[in-house]
Amino acid sequence: MATGSNKSVLVLPGDGIGPEVMGEVLRVAEWFADRRAVRLDVTEDLVGGCCYDAHGVAVQDKTMLKATQVDAVLFGAVGGPKWDAAPREQRPEAGLLRLRKDLDLFANLRPAIVLDALVDASTLKAEVVRGLDLLILRELTAGVYFGTPRGRADLPDGTRRVIDTQSYTEEEIVRVVRVGFELARKRKNRLHSAEKSNVMETGVFWREIAGRIARDEFPDVEFHHILADNCAMQLVRNPKQFDVIVTDNLFGDILSDEAAMMTGSLGMLPSASLGPVDPKTGKRNALYEPVHGSAPDIAGQGKANPLAMLLSFAMMLRYSFDLPEDANLVDRAAQDVLNDGFRTGDIMQPGMTPISTAEMGTKLIAALDRLNG
């Protein structure tokens, strides 16, 4: 049940463990071409610190152009201490932020699912996380990440001051909150909107708009306002009360790391970043990346867990290529490998079999073969 026509994918492995985990994705993509006729035209390019080393910029203009032309971007990870001294506009992270901003990838979906096989890998009690399936929807193109003015200034008395700006337009809030409601409708029909309306103007505005959309457009969806700090607390107290949480860029960054850890490891969490649908072509820009970073401390040692990257590939099949059956195959293969007791170091538990990054890819492909019959 796969596509006949080729889909174009820009692959940006990046730094640290990025190339290792992306390598496993390329193997799995080959399996899909051979066995499921999912043919991808893959172009590979540099982003992050490796691009800075080669070209003096975190991402090249030609790569940006390519990213707007392809059907989807697969992104590994960027950054590392090697580039601590790079100018801020060319730090590895700047490449990722430019991709998010220029492609208008405002809706960042970060699902946190606790698989039965990994219940005991979580630092929380098994009964708190068993069966957990929540989705953080993070606004990704505005807020304090991009607000101006920003920067340092010298004060007349010789001391210094520094500014970041949290800013949201009405439309920036409206569009991401709507996506939150639409996602909730396809899940357990419950949405929490997290902000700091007790302290911040942006929080008050966010709350007003979310409340209005709830009343006017989605009266059928169970809806709650929640303060972001309380949300952080409730996530560890009773995470299963949540279905979808919609929140701004900065709170989403923090809450998604917290949610990720419920699942046992950051190495398990995929994400999808989606732009608006072009009304003329029906196309939307999309970038898929693991939530984890470049982990320079374990890079190049075959220790990284490729599952978050592989599950991001599955999200691409689901959201950009409308291939739910193929996406499900990857999800189920990942579960089978874990059920069979295979673990990378980040999710290792007593009695399980430790394996490397590449072995995880091999096991996953073997599981795909079995599932595909």
Site residues (CB under 6 A) for ligand IPM, limited to 289-348: 293
Tell the smallest beta-carbon distance from residue 337 to ligand IPM (Å): 25
Tell me how crowded residue 182 is: count the other CB atoms within 10 A of its CB. 16
Partner whose footprint covers residue 19, from Mg ion, ligand IPM, none (CB < 5 to 8 Å by kind): none
Find the catalytic residue in 7, 196, 303, 363: 196
Report the residue number whose CB is nearest to ligand IPM.
Answer: 93
Separation of alpha carbons 199 and 233, rounded Å = 18
Tell the smallest beta-carbon distance from residue 238 to ligand IPM (Å): 24
Separation of alpha carbons 11 and 44, rounded Å = 5
Report CA Rg, the chain: 21
CB 111 within 8 A of CB 269: yes
Find the catalytic residue in 52, 145, 288, 319: 145
- Torsions phi, psi for 130 (to 5 deg): -55, 130
71 is catalytic: no
Partner whose footprint covers residue 316, from ligand IPM, Mg ion, none (CB < 5 to 8 Å by kind): none
Buried b (16+ CB within 10 A) or exposed e, 110-125: bbbbbbebbbebbebe
101 is catalytic: no
Partner whose footprint covers residue 355, from ligand IPM, Mg ion, none (CB < 5 to 8 Å by kind): none
CB 146 within 8 A of CB 101: yes
Choose which of 253, 326, 331, 346 interacts with ligand IPM (CB under 6 A).
253
Choose which of 15, 20, 195, 253 interacts with Mg ion (CB under 5 A).
253
261 contacts ligand IPM (rule: CB under 6 A):
no
Find the catalytic residue in 41, 116, 220, 229: 229
Tell me how crowded residue 227 is: count the other CB atoms within 10 A of its CB. 18
Partner whose footprint covers residue 96, from ligand IPM, Mg ion, none (CB < 5 to 8 Å by kind): ligand IPM
Closest Cα to residue 53, out of 28, 21, 85, 29? 85
Q: If you ran DSSP here, which 8-state letter would residue 352 be given?
A: S
Residue 88 or 186: the one with the smaller Cβ distance to ligand IPM is 88
x/- track of binding to ligand IPM for residues 87-116 (CB under 6 A): ------x--x--------------------
**C-alpha distances out from residue 371 to 200, 326, 330, 366, Å:** 50, 11, 10, 9
Interface segment toward Mg ion; rule CB under 5 A; list 38-46, 113-121, 246-254, 268-276? 246-254
Find the catalytic residue in 253, 326, 331, 346: 253
Tell the smallest beta-carbon distance from residue 292 to Mg ion (Å): 9
Tell me how crowded residue 39 is: count the other CB atoms within 10 A of its CB. 16
Site residues (CB under 6 A) for ligand IPM, limited to 28-57: none
Tell me how crowded residue 296 is: count the other CB atoms within 10 A of its CB. 17
Indicate which residues carry an active-site annotation.
Answer: 145, 196, 229, 253, 257
Give the residues lining the site for Mg ion (CB under 5 A). Answer: 253
Give the residues lining the site for ligand IPM (CB under 6 A). Answer: 93, 96, 253, 293
